[in-house]
Amino acid sequence: MTGFMNLLGIWLSALFTLSIFSFLYKDNPFYKFAEQVFVGLSAAYWLVNIIYSIMIPNLFSKLITDFSGNLILLIPAALGLMMLMRLHPATQWISRYPIAIMIGTTAGISMLRYMKSDILNQVTATMINPFAAETTGGVIGNLLLIIGTLCGVYFFYFSKKQEGIYAAPSKLGIWFLMISFGATFGYTVMARISLLIGRLEFLLGDWLHLI
Amino acid sequence: MKISAGLERRLIYSILFIAVALPLLIPIGWKTDISGYTQIAYDLVEHAPEGTIALISFDYDPSTMTEMQPMAEAQIEHAFKRNQRVIATALWPMGVQMAEEAFGKVLLDYPDKKYGVDYVNLGYKVGGMVTIQAMGRDLREVYPTDQGGTPYEDIPMLNEVRRLKDIGWISSLSSGTPGLKEWVMVARDAYGVPVTGGCTAISAPGFFPYVNEQRQLYGLLGGLKAASEYESLLGRIGSATTKMDAQSVAHMLILVFISIGNVKVYITRRRKAQ
């Protein structure tokens, strides 16, 4: 039975992969069917996942096994129920409170972390002696890092009209930005081709047994 | 002969399809150079002492497993090779299955490694950054049991681990949020634990700035190429290495397409100007 189910799974997977690929030719019923099944399955999967991986272990199990020791969990449970009030127009306003708490908490937690990791540490990482590197390549890299950062940030400085001598760092900043966009595009191509490789490996290997 | 835009598009897809399929059927065996980012990530594991307890967080799902799974297998293998122990966690629900699959594959070559002694799968936890913060205080509070329901206290290798600071190195294999960024922000920047990781190629440029003088990240595995580089450093031909032939052929083909497109635009503009 397991063998049959595995085989069925592989054939279904191949069918859906080919159905999705068929969109490259033109929009068609096979593509639409695969797309709708994917949306429906994803929604169902997430619902089941939330119940079994989040609600039961983090709330229900704890309350059932030790109710008095986990009284604090009633607060998030109540906030969760308040969030569900959004479904009914007359009680929709109640959901604003849990949303407000969520936004406030997330902003509070994230602000400190982002400030340290994305601003302070990143700025500190550019405060280096460029000539301390052991190789010529390292020195050039360090210089590019400092010049690129300064010019890139300057490009987004809008309080003074960028003309004449003031436009030079901005123009250099554009070059750095363009090169980074090019690198990002290259990496995007690599990621997309990887997805295609993954699917073709499945079709040629697991399905057709050619590799 | 004039080809319509629709036909041209289909022709490009067909050629690309064949160009990717052929190297999978007939491998070429091209070699790739090791990048600095991969070398740093490798060195972190290589230089960690024997017996180190490492944590690998599986923050991805099957949609990106082509890129991520080879990295996971390579890092687990590297840790086992160096006699280090591995804790698997997941900030993504399907990361648990990805971890099981990766361990299953590596264990074929390391049959003597025992669950609970050399590796453990603590499973999925919701919460992202908040969860990592809680792990920094008390790991047992976040994971009272492992994935199979065994209590934390009954797992031998976890007796030495109370919080994140007891962990030698952390690797987040991440294809989105929550993932590598959260590990850098909390585990590295708040608790000072060395963090390395891997991500899909598409997110790699966003993570490179964290590999800096501050050592926010110890190297980075960006996409399939980095996975194949890691396999090369381990001295084996893995799944990433075999896929890199197809990747390289596709890249060359895209370069040709871009060049042809540019020439075509140039000629069209010149004709219009005349």
CA A144, A149, A150, A154 dihedral sign is: positive
From chain A, the residues in CB contact with B200 under 8 A are: 191, 194
Read off the tokens for B207.
């993570």
Structure confidence at residue A1 as a pLDDT band (50, 70, 90) = confident
From chain A, the residues in CB contact with B209 under 8 A are: 122, 125
pLDDT tens-digit map of B192-233: 999 999 999 999 999 999 999 999 999 999 999 999 999 999
Angle between helices B36-47 and B65-81 (to 10 degrees): 40
Angle between helices A74-84 and A96-114 (to 10 degrees): 120
pLDDT tens-digit map of A181-206: 999 999 999 999 999 999 999 999 99
Contact A194/B124, CB-based, under 8 Å? no
CA-based end-to-end distance of chain A? 26
Region A64-76: mean pLDDT is: 94
Name which of A113, A128, A195 is nearest B213 (Cβ-Cβ). A128
Contact A110/B129, CB-based, under 8 Å? yes
Question: Is residue A24 within 8 angstroms of chain B, CB to CB?
Answer: yes
Is residue B242 one of the residues assigned to a domain?
no
**B44/B32: higher pLDDT:** B44
Is residue B15 one of the residues assigned to a domain?
yes
Instruction: Kindly identify which residue of chain A lies nearest to residue B19, measuring between CA atoms.
Output: A197
Contact A198/B66, CB-based, under 8 Å? yes
Is residue B19 one of the residues assigned to a domain?
yes
Chain centroid, CA A16 distance in Å: 25
Contact B209/A122, CB-based, under 8 Å? yes
- Locus of tokens 């490492």: B54
Rounded to whole angstroms, the Cα distance separating A94 from A86 reads: 7
CA distances from B57 to A92, B112, B120, B223 (A): 38, 23, 12, 17
- Residue B173 belongs to what H/E stretch? strand B169-174
CA distances from B201 to A7, A62, A161, B36 (A): 32, 40, 37, 16
pLDDT of B274 above 90: no
Q: Please compute, for residue A176, the number of CA atoms within 13 A of its CA located in the half-sphere on the CB side.
A: 20
Is the same domain home to B119 and B187? yes
Is residue B135 one of the residues assigned to a domain?
yes
Is the same domain home to B182 and B257? no
Region B250-271: mean pLDDT is: 94
CA B199, B205, B211, B216 dihedral sign is: negative
pLDDT of A2 above 80: no
Closest to A145 (Cα-Cα) out of A123, A167, A119, A162: A123
Contact A113/B190, CB-based, under 8 Å? yes
Contact B124/A53, CB-based, under 8 Å? yes
Name which of A114, A194, A211 is nearest B223 (Cβ-Cβ). A194
Name which of A109, A128, A197 is nearest B66 (Cβ-Cβ). A197
Three-class SS of residue B114?
coil
- List the beta bridge partners of residue B171: B56, B196
- List the beta bridge partners of residue B119: B86, B115
The percent of residues above 70 in pLDDT, for chain B, comes to 100
Encode B141-153 in three state secondary structure.
Answer: HHCCECCCCCEHH
Instruction: Give one DSSP letter per residue of A45-77, joined into a string.
Output: HHHHHIIIIIIIIIIIHHHHH-TGGGGGGHHHH
The DSSP secondary-structure symbol of A191 reads H
Whether residue B233 contacts residue B83, with contact meaning beta carbons closer than 8 Å, is answered with: no
Which residues are CB-neighbours of B92 under 8 A, at least 6 positions away? B58, B59, B60, B61, B124, B175, B176, B178, B179
Among B193, B213, B243, B258, the strongest candidate for a mutation testing the A interface, having the largest count of A CBs within 10 A, is B213
CA distances from A134 to A127, A130, A138, A144, A173 (A): 17, 10, 7, 16, 27
Whether residue B237 contacts residue B247, with contact meaning beta carbons closer than 8 Å, is answered with: no
pLDDT tens-digit map of B109-164: 999 999 999 999 999 999 899 999 999 999 999 999 999 999 999 999 999 999 99
Whether residue A204 contacts residue B24, with contact meaning beta carbons closer than 8 Å, is answered with: yes
Is residue B262 one of the residues assigned to a domain?
yes
Q: What are residue B198's phi and psi, to 5 degrees?
A: -135, 155
- What residue spans of A66-166 are helical by DSSP H? 74-84, 96-114, 121-126, 136-155
Contact A211/B247, CB-based, under 8 Å? no
The DSSP secondary-structure symbol of A146 reads H
- List the beta bridge partners of residue B174: B59, B199
Return mean pLDDT, chain A: 94
Is residue B198 one of the residues assigned to a domain?
yes
CATH number at residue B51: 3.40.50
Instruction: Kindly identify which residue of chain B lies nearest to residue A25, measuring between CA atoms.
Output: B10
Region B50-62: mean pLDDT is: 97
- List the beta bridge partners of residue A173: none
Is residue B221 one of the residues assigned to a domain?
yes
Whether residue B199 contacts residue B220, with contact meaning beta carbons closer than 8 Å, is answered with: yes
- Locus of tokens 């600071």: B165
State the maximum Cα–Cα separation within chain B, in Å, rounded to a whole number: 82
pTM value is 0.92
Closest to B82 (Cα-Cα) out of B41, B46, B107: B46
Structure confidence at residue A162 as a pLDDT band (50, 70, 90) = confident
Give residue B121's domain range: 36-236
How far does A172 lie from chain B, in Å, by closest CA? 19
Domain assignments of chain A as residue spans, ordered by start: 128-211
Return mean pLDDT, chain B: 95
Structure confidence at residue B3 as a pLDDT band (50, 70, 90) = confident
Is the same domain home to B50 and B180? yes
From chain B, the residues in CB contact with A196 under 8 A are: 16-17, 20, 250
Among B129, B212, B258, the strongest candidate for a mutation testing the A interface, having the largest count of A CBs within 10 A, is B212
Read off the tokens for B225.
């190429």
pLDDT of B258 above 80: yes
Question: Is residue A90 within 8 angstroms of chain B, CB to CB?
Answer: no
Is the same domain home to B63 and B154? yes
Contact B24/A197, CB-based, under 8 Å? yes
From chain A, the residues in CB contact with B142 under 8 A are: none
**Total tally of structural domains belonging to chain B:** 2
Contact A113/B205, CB-based, under 8 Å? no
CA B54, B57, B63, B64 dihedral sign is: negative
Q: What is the pLDDT of residue B1?
A: 65
Contact B189/A117, CB-based, under 8 Å? yes
Whether residue B86 contacts residue B106, with contact meaning beta carbons closer than 8 Å, is answered with: no
Read off the tokens for B250.
């596709």
Contact B184/A117, CB-based, under 8 Å? yes
Is residue B139 one of the residues assigned to a domain?
yes
From chain A, the residues in CB contact with B126 under 8 A are: 53-54, 58
Is the same domain home to B61 and B106? yes
Rounded to whole angstroms, the Cα distance separating B146 from A113 reads: 28
Name which of B13, B16, B247 is nearest A194 (Cβ-Cβ). B247
Instruction: Kindly identify which residue of chain A lies nearest to residue B249, measuring between CA atoms.
Output: A193
